[in-house]
Amino acid sequence: MDNTGGPRLCFPYLNSSCRRLLRPHSESALLYTLLAFISLLTVTLNLLVIIAISHFRQLHTPTNTLLLSLAVCDLVVGLLVMPIEGLRYIETCWLLGSLMCALTPYISYCLLSASLGNMVLISIDRYLAICDPLLYSSKITQNRVKIIICLLWACSLVYNGCVLMGHLMWQNRFSSCHGECVVIISRIPSTLDLFFSFVGPCAVMVILYMRVFVVVVSQVRVIRLQTAATTVTAAPTAKKSERKAARTLGIVIAVFLMCYCPYYYPTLLGEDTSTSLSYYAILSWIMLTNSCANPLIYALFYPWFRKAIKLIFTLAILQPHSREVKIL
């Protein structure tokens, strides 16, 4: 017989324990199954992206290095953030202690900032590749992109340490009982964070992709005129691959914005951003599903990713010289 939901204590042996709402066994089992499936799918898909880009030498390009950094963000989300947030929601109690209460929001915010930063860098990369190809080929190198990514991660760690400094130092200051982990960012810091870490970067991405769209349309017209007048195809083929990459990464960014915009809904309403909000779990999980969506988009639009998956699952990557396989 299922237990339906009378109030119980998170920690029965503590008088100061929070009350918990017990779910029916069938509901808990279903939620844990869904949580395990989504987390495992997110980790597996992003691990495939990381293995493919890291292993095949032909994929060692500046653009793919940015995709690799984004996949690392998504992998950590599936490995750590999703299980912890799922446990919080299903058990309706915080069971991981004060240290994890301090670190979990910090890790989540760092991943959010790093993902957004990677998206901005991807937009800049595509803008230069389409709109200024001569500058791109001469200035954008693997080593420079790696240095920029390292700076991005370092800035994310420092910035979110400042935003969450109060929570990191006094993680229990908003908790009324044991078994509760409440993170509250007041209106002014959350509003500043909204503009500095979301509105500003998103405006940059939208403006750059609008510019890329205009240039791509003009290039298509020129190529059609050249095709009608001559049989030269080498240059148009190279440009076509860049345009396809820009289109796919544009879809990635559009999905990213759709998943992350709801997270800032409380700030837009003028409320404090708090994990105790009744609808916080919904906003949080909409954002987290983006980590699973990215590699699915790659699988749909990138033939090299599908080919890489086949080579990985057939263990062909274990063969000598498999790094040199032509995968593009």
- What pLDDT sits at residue 272? 58
d(C-alpha 261, C-alpha 139), whole Å? 33
Asked whether residue 295 carries a pLDDT value surpassing 80, the answer given is yes
Per-residue pLDDT for 270 more than 70? no
* Distance (Å, whole) CA 93 – CA 62: 43
Q: Which of 22-36, 59-73, 156-170 has the lowest mean pLDDT?
A: 156-170
Average pLDDT, the chain: 81
Among the residues of the chain, which ranges form H helices?
25-55, 62-76, 82-91, 97-131, 133-139, 142-163, 165-169, 187-194, 200-229, 234-260, 265-268, 280-288, 290-301, 303-313
One-letter amino acid for residue 46 of the chain: N
Say which residue, 36 or 134, is predicted with more confidence. Answer: 36
217-245 pLDDT, tens digit per residue, is 777 677 667 666 664 444 443 356 666 66
pLDDT confidence of residue 198: 77
Q: What is the pLDDT of residue 324?
A: 87
| Mean pLDDT (whole number) for 75-99 | 88
CATH number corresponding to 7-324: 1.20.1070.10
pLDDT at site 233: 46
Q: Residue 76 — very low, low, confident or very high, per pLDDT cuts 50/70/90? A: very high
Instruction: Record the tokens describing residue 27, joined without a space.
Output: 């509901």
Secondary structure of residue 276 in the 3-state scheme? coil
pLDDT-based confidence at residue 46 (cuts at 50, 70, 90): very high
The share of the chain scoring above pLDDT 90, in percent, equals 23
pLDDT of residue 144: 92
For residue 273, the cross-strand partners are: 185
Q: How confident is the model at residue 154 (pLDDT cuts 50, 70, 90)?
A: very high
Instruction: Report pLDDT for 238.
Output: 38
If you search the block for the tokens 């200035």, which residue do you land on? 139
* Three-class SS state of 224: helix
Quick one: pLDDT at residue 156? 92
Lowest mean pLDDT among 85-89, 181-185, 294-298, 319-323: 181-185
Share of the chain above pLDDT 70, in %: 84
Q: For the chain, what are the domain ranges?
A: 7-324
Q: For position 242, what pLDDT does the model report?
A: 62
Model pLDDT, residue 290 = 86
Least trusted range by pLDDT, from 57-71, 82-96, 188-202: 188-202
| pTM for the full predicted model | 0.83
The residue-averaged pLDDT of 58-83 equals 92
| Residue 32, amino acid | Y
Supply the angle between the helices 280-288 and 290-301 in degrees, to the nearest 10.
Answer: 30
Which residue has better confidence, 190 or 90? Answer: 90
User: CA–CA separation, 215 vs 190, rounded Å?
Assistant: 36
- Tokens found for residue 323: 């790094």
Specify the pLDDT at position 235: 45
Residue written as token pair 């559009």: 254
Does 213 score more than 90 pLDDT?
A: no
Question: Average pLDDT in the 272-298 region?
Answer: 78
> Which tokens in the block code for residue 34?
């869904």
Per-residue pLDDT, 276: 61
The Cα–Cα gap between 63 and 196 comes to: 24
The answer to whether residues 10 and 19 touch, using CB atoms and an 8 Å cutoff, is yes
- 196 vs 62, higher pLDDT: 62
